[in-house]
Chain A
Amino acid sequence: MKYTLLFLSGGSGSRMQNSVPKQYMLLAGKPVIMHILERVDQIEEIEDVVVVCAKEYEAAISLMINQYGIRKPVHFAPAGITRQGSVRNGLTLVNNENVIVHEAARPFVKVEDFKRLIAAKERNATFGLSIPFSVLKGHGCVEGLLERSELFNVQLPQKFETRLLKDVHERAVAENREFTEDASMIYYYHPDVPIKVCEGMDYDIKLTTRIDMLAGEQIYEDVFSRRK
């Protein structure tokens, strides 16, 4: 089964308090975005990549793709105003029957992790990690209880049937509904479609704040560097 990687790189980096969005900052001496592109380049099942980014970064990303010798075809789609809009824009360029959705701000995914997701027999799957801390409902004051054992932390990458993902995005636009990620959207419109939850990785953090970049250097050293 073949896949297209829909790779979200539209973040502006506002929470990083940096003029350069986090996906273009250096992590372990390499632009954050290139960590995943280099690894995906080794995965046979992924045929091509759709990078969703702000137009002004296309030339810089193209240059890096060339410098790093990425061999897979890479297409560009414009970032949307919201994450959901970015996925929708990217989907217009996805021609494979299956799509893997990932984001550049999550550089700590191994080749084996992608392969584990691909190997799941369900065509729709996400990574998920159990929540190790206590949770409650509320905004400023406690408004309700949540059962931690019923929850999990949604991690990317995720894989979906392209036709199904395009369908739910069209419906969400028509109904003006926003979702924070795509497994939720599919479940909302098609609760009968099984979405496998693969055991997530504690190192698969999303780089959001400056402290994440500091932690990220340590994660890279511990998980990806071969020097021990």
Chain B
Amino acid sequence: MSTCIITGIGSGIGRATAIMLANRGFYSHYALIGRNEDEMRQTQAEMQKRLPEGSTRLYLIDLAFPERIPELVAKIDAELGDIGALLNIAGYTDPQSLLTTTLESFELTYKVNVYAPFMFMRECVKYMRQKGGKILNVASTAGMTPRPGWLSYASSKSAVISMSETLTAELSEYGIMVYCVSPGRCATKLRRRLAPDEDPSTIMQPEEVAQVICNLVNPNEHCLDGQNIVIRKSIKK
């Protein structure tokens, strides 16, 4: 049994996934990554109801500073050991039209959505390649279809899809499988910024996306890596 690193565990899909994984027993330890300590503690408390004491540990980091990730991953390996899975779930958006998108906003979106997953993957692979493992990146349907006004977010998620597909082949020899999921409309804080007038109860819930993610990171799953898996909910009308 190995350590699973999950980013974005304070809320939304990250939180739902972390809590659901705690029930599955796939991993012995969980490194929980986020930047809001209060929210993270709530997620951790939920997980610990189902896990042996000491199975989870919080690591605070602002992903706007991806250059800090190598030190963080080294610390996780030293403290929990045997990194076997990485779930890049944290995301950021600042929807703007082209003419109102600042370089700072564009850069921040890319740092959180692209640079941070890249750095986590690069650093984790250094530890995972001896025994193999699983990497899962959360992209978005916004990365596949044009959405006016979502320039930075949509293009960053396209990059996540492409990175995942590229690394599937590159990391295969190590026995590392790379998954990519693209949820459609899902009731998260991030979605609220993209569609503030939408009723969250009418769309897909984080737990439904978490269910798919948990199925993919199941150690017995060997067939669904290397493709962009779209997660959409059929809604009764």
Contacts and interface: CB of A to CB of B under 8 A. Distances in A.
Interface of A: 28-30, 38, 42, 69, 224-227
Interface string B1-40: 0000000000000000000000000000000000000000
11 contacts: A28-B169, A28-B170, A28-B173, A29-B169, A29-B170, A42-B130, A69-B126, A224-B173, A226-B172, A226-B175, A227-B172
Interface residues of B, number: 12
Contacts of B129: 38
A104 B170 CA distance: 19
B226 to A, nearest CB: 7
Contacts of B225: 227
A199 B130 CA distance: 28
A69 B225 CA distance: 25
Interface of B: 126, 129-130, 166, 168-170, 172-173, 175, 225-226
A224 B226 CA distance: 17
Contacts of A29: 166, 169-170
B173 A225 contact: yes
Nearest to A220: B173
A26 B168 CA distance: 17
Is the contact region of chain B dominated by helix, strand, or loop, or is it mixed?
A: helix
A124 B169 CA distance: 37
A227 B169 contact: yes
A208 to B, nearest CB: 23
Contact of B226 (A30, A38, A227): A227
Nearest to A228: B172
Contacts of A28: 169-170, 173
Contacts of B126: 69
B227 to A, nearest CB: 11
Contacts of B169: 28-29, 225, 227
A29 to B, nearest CB: 4
A108 to B, nearest CB: 12
Contacts of B175: 226
Given A226-B175, A227-B226, A30 B170 contact: yes
A227 B225 CA distance: 9
A221 B192 CA distance: 43
A225 to B, nearest CB: 5
A172 B170 CA distance: 43
B130 A227 contact: no
A42 B129 CA distance: 11
A71 to B, nearest CB: 10
Contacts of A42: 130
A226 B170 contact: no
B130 A225 contact: no
Contacts of B170: 28-30
A226 B130 contact: no
Contacts of A225: 169, 172-173
Contacts of A224: 173
A73 to B, nearest CB: 18
A142 B129 CA distance: 52
Contacts of B168: 227
Given A42-B130, A69-B126, A227-B168, 8 more contacts: A29-B166, A29-B170, A38-B129, A224-B173, A225-B169, A225-B172, A225-B173, A226-B175
